[in-house]
Amino acid sequence: MTISIRAFGVVKEIFGAISVNVDLPENATAKILKGHLQEIYPALSKLTSFALAVNSEYANDETVISSKDEVAIIPPVSGG
């Protein structure tokens, strides 16, 4: 399945885009997606940390991703 990943902040610079599409096996977890993204974009591993959001909620490693989900990378937040 193809998943579109939204980028914010520093991740837009790492992607060079506001979103990217990646191919993932069906029922892939957030952990698998994170590993996949770190392979394609080694700069992600240099961040203090990054999380994934699925349908605008923080995902944990076991969260299963389906093709209809809205997925985003959340680099370290710095609001306020």
Partner 1 sequence: MVVKRHCVNYDIKISSDNLNVASCIEWVSAPGCGGIDVFVGTVRSETKGKKVVRLEFEAYEAMAVKEMEKIAQIAIAKFSVHKVLIHHRTGVLDVGDIPVIIAVSAAHRGAAFDACRYAIDTLKETVPIWKREVFEDGAVWVAAHP
Which residues of this chain interact with partner 1, rule CB under 8 A?
A: 6, 8-10, 13, 46-48, 53, 56-58, 72, 74-80
Positive or negative CA dihedral for 35, 28, 49, 43? positive
Residue 47 C-beta: closest distance to partner 1, Å: 6
* Locus of tokens 């080694």: 42
Residue 37 C-beta: closest distance to partner 1, Å: 16
Choice between 25 and 80, CB closer to partner 1: 80
Residue 25 C-beta: closest distance to partner 1, Å: 25
Q: Which pairing describes strands 2-6 and 71-74: parallel, antiparallel, or unpaired? A: parallel
